[in-house]
Structure 1
């Protein structure tokens, strides 16, 4: 384990802030294919220590797994900053691949919830430099595979499967969704600012250069509408980008122990779910 590697030092909240990553590398011969893990946190937090068991499982299958911090609404940052940060981490890891014992010819991004959204944005924007800022710009930030678990996509419809009160709360100008698109104290919303919503939607950037995607969503998700992954799947198919959607029966929004539901995470840590992820990684990252 390489801990607290500083991969970028962007501005957040008016101050420069070091962004760090933890990297697990199996102790076997040869460079390891790279998977960049992007944690969730409602666009408010980004704790790179999260989901260690799942990350370790993937590392034990022979992958180098980097878990990254990124800027969030807690420092007044927006989705643009988050995508910039993910791409900065990928370029950093490519620039230091030899010393870290990793192979970066093919890279996957794997995210959950807010991290799933950022993973989809990262893979969709292959081939464009719109979100490439900072150091190591001589290295590519393109990825070859995206694992998107219960992420949001079309933010104006993120609560469409829920009751009217919940939908109204998500579309309120002060909601975490609108804060991540427009920044703090904005009165704009993705429900009414269609151009801003399109700019924040991974589907907008899809092209033949975009990475292959697997989408995993629980049909009992109470935080991100399950239809979000179907919306992106339809967009992938329309652009002829490889995509597959898996619905996990009875599953809610990942590990919800922090909300008083210690059982919710179990459906996401089964051999069936984790095996689906690693088989996809094997197919896309290994020759």
Structure 2
């Protein structure tokens, strides 16, 4: 090895996600292709973070808009390719259905609370958006037309991303039964309890770190320049009180930001207790909302 040769450690390391070749696309349902397990970010001392990218196969005259999907799981568990309990048996699945309408879907990993505490998962979503923007020409996507869509804990992170991201700003957000306030007792959540998912996310009981809990609460981030929001929440949610979405909708409306709140009668968390037809209706309405924002932005 000469003095000009790079160290062996650098030679054997995997290519950086910013420069690594994209994997071949896997044809899926008619009109849809999938790039699975694409690394988008490497955090020192942590696993590489990956995303799945669903794309329409039809030739597009211009880059397609994007849905950035954030999975749930109490910030503690979950999989990037899971939209929740009631969509797991769909054929074709929810992401293929979205891509078939002519937009891309990026389903992203983020660090869970057993790996790192807040704001790590929000930092990871920003890193995903940065990577997608950097590689947008290769991917054929337009991240200036991004709608973030999250369910449960993923909805909480999606809300924070929509309310804080500026590079680029998002076109809108779709939130299903998402927490919005980590500072106040609601439903089964109490901020003094150090064992709750919220406490594990923050690294301490929210009541003992009030400034941190405030910073992690979308309710505290509502502002006049917020993009349009669709909030969908069951009025019988036993895990995340419907008041979370009601309060966030009221705060956005007070700030002058566009917001639509749909309180679903009889629905528990994860759309438990709803009929298949009702779940399909919620999905269809959410997708239509996202596609309207894609056309407007």
Normalised-by-shorter TM-score class: 0.7 to 0.9
Map 1:10-159 → 2, pairs under 5 A: 10-11=43-44, 15-30=45-60, 31-51=63-83, 53-75=93-115, 77-127=116-166, 140-157=167-184
Shift of 1:106: 1.1
Structure 2 contact 69–150 (Cα < 8 Å) conserved: yes
**1:269 corresponds to which residue?**
279
**1:134 corresponds to which residue?**
none
Structure 1 contact 34–104 (Cα < 8 Å) conserved: yes
Structure 2 contact 152–178 (Cα < 8 Å) conserved: yes
CA distance, structure 1, for counterparts of residue 223 and residue 165 of structure 2:
8
Taking only aligned residues, the RMSD between alpha carbons, in angstroms, comes to 2.0
The secondary structure found in structure 1 opposite 2:266 is coil
Shift of 1:48: 1.2
CA distance, structure 2, for counterparts of residue 49 and residue 278 of structure 1:
17
Structure 1 contact 126–210 (Cα < 8 Å) conserved: no
Runs (5+) with no aligned partner, structure 1: 128-139, 257-262
Shift of 1:156: 2.7
**1:206 corresponds to which residue?**
222
CA distance, structure 1, for counterparts of residue 254 and residue 160 of structure 2:
17
Question: Measured at CA, do residues 265 and 41 of structure 1 come closer, stay the same or move farther in structure 2, by a change above 3 Å?
Answer: farther
The secondary structure found in structure 2 opposite 1:55 is helix
More displaced, 190-199 or 106-115? 190-199
Question: Measured at CA, do residues 205 and 65 of structure 1 come closer, stay the same or move farther in structure 2, by a change above 3 Å?
Answer: same
The secondary structure found in structure 2 opposite 1:254 is helix
Question: Measured at CA, do residues 205 and 145 of structure 1 come closer, stay the same or move farther in structure 2, by a change above 3 Å?
Answer: same
Structure 1 contact 207–239 (Cα < 8 Å) conserved: yes
Shift of 1:205: 2.6
TM-score between both structures, scaled by the size of structure 2 = 0.79
CA distance, structure 2, for counterparts of residue 222 and residue 171 of structure 1:
19
Structure 1 contact 46–71 (Cα < 8 Å) conserved: no
Shift of 1:255: 5.9
CA distance, structure 2, for counterparts of residue 195 and residue 268 of structure 1:
39
TM-score between both structures, scaled by the size of structure 1 = 0.82
Question: Measured at CA, do residues 223 and 241 of structure 1 come closer, stay the same or move farther in structure 2, by a change above 3 Å?
Answer: same
Structure exhibiting the larger radius of gyration computed from Cα positions: 2
The secondary structure found in structure 2 opposite 1:47 is coil
Shift of 1:20: 0.2
